[in-house]
Chains A and B, each alone.
Chain A
Amino acid sequence: MTLDPTRQMIEICPVDAIDVETGVAALVHGEAVAVFRTYAGDVFALSNYDPFSHASVLSRGIVGTRTVDGESVDFVASPIYKEAFDLRTGICLDKPEVSIAAYEVVVREGVVYVGSVKAVVEE
């Protein structure tokens, strides 16, 4: 997957089309992307591809929260072997050495747009 900051944002769907605390799969520049909406109203996008099962399924996982270092983190659990991925970064909470791509997301006038892969943030 290439990092392309100039890549255009793609219209996905109205934000209301994503039920709260669920995901949908979308096609973004030819790639399968999972777009999630949380209870608090935040929208996130990760690669739909689960690196543990090699299946394109993350949009069908259960969305929830988990406490990590005292902070409540939004995550999705893969529906196949249940590994949890941080919705903000794509980092696997169970095996932090594994991570998947996280995408830029904006919601404008009730419509969700997904852009390029987020740059990795060094903390």
Chain B
Amino acid sequence: MSSYRKRIVVIGHGMVGHRFVEAAIERGLTETYDIVILGEEPRAAYDRVALTSYYEVGDKALSFLPSGKYADPRVSLELNAKAVAVSPRARIITLEDGRQVEYDELVLATGAYPFVPPVAGKDLENVFVYRTIEDLIAIKKAAKKAKTGVVIGGGLLGLEAANAVKQLGLETHVVELAPRLMAVQIDSGAGKTLSREIENLGLTVHTGAMTEAILGTKGKVSGLALKDRATLNADIVVFSAGIRPQDALGRAADLEIAERGGILVDEHCRTSEEHIWAIGECAAPNGKMYGLVAPGYQMAEVVVDSMLGGEGTFEGADMSTKLKLLGVDVASFGDAHAETPGSLELVYSDAVAGIYKKLVISEDGKRLLGGVLVGDASAYGILRPMVASGLPLPDNPEDLILPAGSGGLSKMELPDEAVVCSCNNVTKGQIKGAADNGCTTQADVTKETKAGSTCGSCKVQVKKIIEDHFAAQGVVVDKSLCEHFPMTRAELFDVVLVHGYRSFNEIIEAHGKGRGCDICKPAVASILASQLNSHVLDQGNRQLQDTNDAYLGNLQKNGTYSVVPRIAGGEITPEGLIAIGEVAKDFGLYTKITGGQRIDLFGARLEQLPAVWKRLVDAGFESGHAYGKSLRTVKSCVGSTWCRYGQQDSVAMAIELELRYRGLRSPHKLKGGVSGCARECAEARGKDFGIIATTNGWNLYVGGNGGAIPAHAQLLAEDLSDEDLRKYLDRFLMFYIRTADRLQRTSTWLDSLEGGMDYLRQVVIEDSLGIAEELERAMASHIDSYFDEWKATIEDPEKVRRFMSFVNAPETPDPNISFGTTRGQIVPEESAGPVSLGMPQIGASL
């Protein structure tokens, strides 16, 4: 070499070789070295992990280097360049075409080749392996004239290959020698579930099946002879029976080879020869070969680091995997086979749903060691980091794998790797990182990371992560309601109560600044409403209300409203049903039975609301408050009146409670349920308060209805009399209304109470704070002052005045609202932009 610059040669341009070059450029290795890459394949590195998607997306989408060149001019890539010999002494590589290349440092990244067992007939036409894009092109060509395909090998790659063969429209068989699929990663229970799910997709799985010979006619494949089983017909055969390290160059150069193949390297990925390194599947650190791409990437980074004089070492790799095979979730992590002495296994299996989950737990039951998930791998994001971080298991580890709704996961301290926003794939660590970079509110973090910007269901969780993060750092967390009020909702509630304020203006002048906003105004409105119970549309109240309360209807996506009359406990007369039906028919509304045993009427225009409600009020209905942060429904089952199992009259109790608490404004909407016996037909434990009848009275549960994070209500008190039930419920609801955060559900409020359920029980039942009487009095005052706000609205022209389409054209309906039809009823149609009506003859010109 004449140049004073040194040269690194990389043999192999697969995923790992490419990663090495990228890391070398990124970390400045090319400041001192030129890099030459020799690739044997005709194309530059591509995403082999996603190989199966080649049929859908093509080779361009898979390529890591579509231009065929690296941006750094000191890196050159030679394709179709097969190295056949290396001379470590002379530091020279010889290519197949006779050319020679000198090197200062040599990196072997030659990968692996597919293993084809020595079976008779393996050289017949239409026998393939599954490794390169060229293989896939050949399989596709042969598949055009084929009906049946057989994949030999039921490991990860074999199932990928089977997926590809199925995609090509062939009847597909998977033949696996081991007694289960994916024998390396998963246990027999998981294997059974996986087999069943894959068979449901139309593939045939043969496990414990040994291939004796590949049969052929006229030089082409015709079938597969299996030991002790019927012969399978096959037009194509794909081998996916494992891979072997591509270590031939290393052997020829007399490098030390591991016992089971692969070039032996130390923790820096150095081979037995100075200046030669090996990374990826051709290498065997500590004698062990890794058939996954992630460890190969780690090795590439380690070598770059070493060449720069760094200390990085390769210490073995996490072999956890999560993937979707043929649409079935499969994940395996940590000690999946329970090889740790004394380890315990916890298994949840639902054969009907195709779900199998196993946790491997340490002997003392305190740590998670590993696990297997088939059919539902949603917990992988939380469980795998738990293994790595050594986070202590919760008291009931089964909650981690039981179906959602059992509450275990929601109460866990999540590891940083856990995905919080699944719409945008944002982890807890990224959210904390955003907080460290200056974001102080959930809104800031959402802007920065996109967490919560799509469906929004994780916003509350994002907020809590930020608060906990700052609290952990000893930073005083600003719990201000918004920029206008430097206090929490609970504090503001007390301020209003103590001073006896009756209007927003009084409150903001005395305790806030500015004119308020869309956060504090509805919060103050709710606080005033639960203390005064005046009409939400009174002067001074109505500009505080969110649109639902401002127009006493539930705003839907096209700007129309839904109307929900109260049907307490779900009990309704035939006359009532007919009246609702007639109103819906006359106004052309969409009707649907709600989840809370009522009837929703959708699609009412703003200006139609008073007329719709006039009809409903005349028919004896009142507001169902479906629009408010308020009590919605108390659901009931049939109860002891009709049901042969009923213990108590759940219908009467549900009606009584719904009427007792109707109109009650609260930090979040509230729902209740009353079941007449433990069969729980009213699903009462999914509610903010749930009541289940016993032979001795009522069991009271609170804090269910977690919204995006499902939560079951927990037992507050048992075997209550009617009177005690009302008393405890009054106290519970008022205590929640006074102390919860804005938009905080009962479940998260209960979680946030220091002392949790025990503390709540002390307050509500033992009256530890001495406020029970006051809470009851506050509820009594609410009950006494209840009136139907829709009836009051339609009787007051001043209030009705505001229900109009246009202030200067009250008879003209909004042209932006239009409807289509689905299943015989109206559906909203999206308007594309502001709609113009042309030039109407209205108003006077100036």
Residues of chain A at the chain B interface (Cβ within 8 Å): 1, 8-13, 17-22, 24-27, 29-32, 35, 38-39, 47-49, 53-57, 60-67, 72, 74-75, 77, 79-80, 82, 84, 94, 106, 108, 113
Contacts and interface: CB of A to CB of B under 8 A. Distances in A.
Contacts of B542: 19, 22
Contact of B836 (A11, A30, A106): A30
19 contacts: A9-B845, A10-B808, A12-B808, A19-B539, A25-B805, A26-B806, A27-B806, A30-B839, A31-B834, A31-B835, A32-B814, A32-B835, A56-B559, A63-B543, A64-B515, A65-B515, A74-B515, A79-B547, A108-B846
A53 B631 CA distance: 27
Contacts of B840: 27, 30
Contact of B517 (A31, A49, A66, A94): A66
Interface of B: 443, 447, 483-484, 514-518, 521-522, 539, 542-547, 550-551, 555, 557-559, 606, 802, 805-809, 812, 814-817, 830-840, 842-846
Contact of A47 (B558, B807, B834): B834
Nearest to B837: A30
A22 B22 CA distance: 58
Nearest to B525: A62
A85 B388 CA distance: 46
Nearest to A18: B807
B807 A35 contact: yes
A57 B806 contact: no
Given A55-B558, A56-B816, A13 B807 contact: yes
A contact patch SS: strand
A45 B661 CA distance: 41
Contacts of B802: 24
Which one of A8, A54, A56, A66 has the greatest number of beta carbons of chain B within 10 Å?
A56
A30 to B, nearest CB: 4
Given A13-B807, A80-B557, A32 B550 contact: no
Given A8-B846, A35-B807, A72 B514 contact: yes
B806 A32 contact: yes
B843 A11 contact: yes
A77 B518 CA distance: 6
Nearest to A9: B846
Contacts of B812: 27
A7 to B, nearest CB: 10
Contacts of A12: 807-808, 843
B845 A54 contact: no
B463 to A, nearest CB: 15
A9 B555 CA distance: 31
Contact of B837 (A9, A11, A27, A55): A27
Contacts of A63: 543
A57 B555 contact: yes
A60 B550 CA distance: 8
A104 to B, nearest CB: 11
Contacts of A57: 547, 555, 559
A62 B846 contact: no
A62 B518 contact: yes
B443 to A, nearest CB: 8
Contact of B834 (A24, A56, A60, A72): A56
Given A84-B518, A106-B846, 16 more contacts: A9-B846, A10-B808, A10-B843, A11-B846, A19-B543, A25-B806, A31-B834, A32-B835, A56-B816, A57-B559, A62-B518, A65-B517, A75-B517, A79-B547, A108-B846, A113-B846
A75 B519 CA distance: 13
Nearest to B815: A32
A8 B845 contact: yes
B518 A64 contact: yes
A55 B846 contact: no
A39 B832 CA distance: 33
A27 B806 CA distance: 6
Nearest to B539: A19
Given A21-B543, A25-B814, A79-B547, A66 B557 contact: no
A67 B834 contact: no
B843 A1 contact: no
Nearest to A77: B518
B831 A21 contact: no
Contacts of B805: 25
B18 to A, nearest CB: 36
A56 B640 CA distance: 49
Contacts of A106: 846
Contacts of B518: 61-62, 64, 77, 82, 84
A26 B515 contact: no
Given A19-B539, A30-B837, A64 B517 contact: yes
A56 B838 CA distance: 17
Nearest to A108: B846
A29 B837 CA distance: 8
Contact of B521 (A10, A24, A64): A64
A71 B544 CA distance: 22
Contacts of B814: 25, 32, 56
Contact of A61 (B547, B817, B838, B842): B547
A55 B547 contact: no
A62 B845 contact: no
Contacts of B838: 30
A26 B483 CA distance: 31
A54 B807 contact: no
Nearest to A35: B807
Which one of B484, B516, B806, B836 has the greatest number of beta carbons of chain A within 10 Å?
B806
Which one of B516, B559, B809, B812 has the greatest number of beta carbons of chain A within 10 Å?
B559
A62 B834 contact: no
B184 to A, nearest CB: 48
- 9 residue pairs, one from A and one from B, having the closest CB atoms: A79-B547, A64-B517, A77-B518, A56-B816, A55-B559, A30-B837, A62-B518, A30-B836, A24-B807
